[in-house]
Chains A and B, each alone.
Chain A
Amino acid sequence: MPPSVHIRVGIDILAVERVSRLLRENDGIEDEVFTPRELDYCRGRSRPDEHLAARFAAKEAVLKVIGTGLSRRLRWTDVEILRDRAGRPEVQLHGRLAAFAGTQGITDIDVSLSHSGGLAVAQAAAICDSGGGGASCAST
Chain B
Amino acid sequence: MSMTESELHGAVQAAVVGALGVSEDEASPDATLMDDLGAESIDLLDILFRIEKSTGVKIQASDLGDYMQGGIPDDEFSDANEMITEKGLEHLKTVMPQIDTAALAGSLNANDVIKLFTVSNLGDMVARRAGGAA
Confirm or deny: B36 has a beta carbon within 8 angstroms of a beta carbon on chain A: no
Give the A-binding residues of B (Cβ under 8 A): 34, 40-42, 44-46, 49, 52-53, 60-62, 64-66, 68-69, 80-82, 110-115
A69 contacts chain B at the CB level, 8 A cutoff: yes
Stretch at the interface among A42-50, A73-81, A122-130: A73-81
Complex CA gap A136/B80 in Å reads: 11
Q: Are A14 and B42 in contact (CB under 8 A)?
A: yes
Beyond contacts A71-B113, A74-B61: 19 other A-B pairs, Cβ-Cβ < 8 A, are A12-B40, A22-B42, A22-B46, A32-B60, A60-B41, A63-B41, A67-B111, A69-B34, A69-B111, A69-B114, A70-B44, A70-B61, A70-B62, A71-B111, A71-B112, A73-B65, A73-B66, A74-B62, A135-B81
Give the distance to chain A from B25, nearest Cβ to Cβ, in Å.
24
Of residues A19, A68, A72, which shows the largest number of chain B Cβ atoms within 10 Å of its Cβ?
Answer: A72
Could you show 6 A-B contacts with beta carbons less than 8 Å apart?
A12-B40, A69-B114, A70-B64, A72-B111, A73-B69, A76-B61
Q: Which residues of chain B have C-beta atoms less than 8 A from A29's C-beta?
A: 45, 49
User: Which residues 53-70 in A have Cβ within 8 Å of B in the complex?
Assistant: 56, 59-60, 63, 67-70
Contacts of B34 in A (CB 8 A): 69
Of the residues A33, A70, A76, contact of B114 by C-beta under 8 Å: A70
Residues in chain A near residue B64, CB distance under 8 A: 70-71
Contact (Cβ within 8 A) B45 A68: no
Q: Are B65 and A72 in contact (CB under 8 A)?
A: yes
Which B residues are CB-close (under 8 A) to A60?
A: 40-42
Q: Is A140 an interface residue (CB 8 A)?
A: no
- Contact across chains for B110 and A75 when beta carbons are under 8 A apart: no
Chain A residues lying within 8 Å of B112, measured Cβ to Cβ, are 69, 71
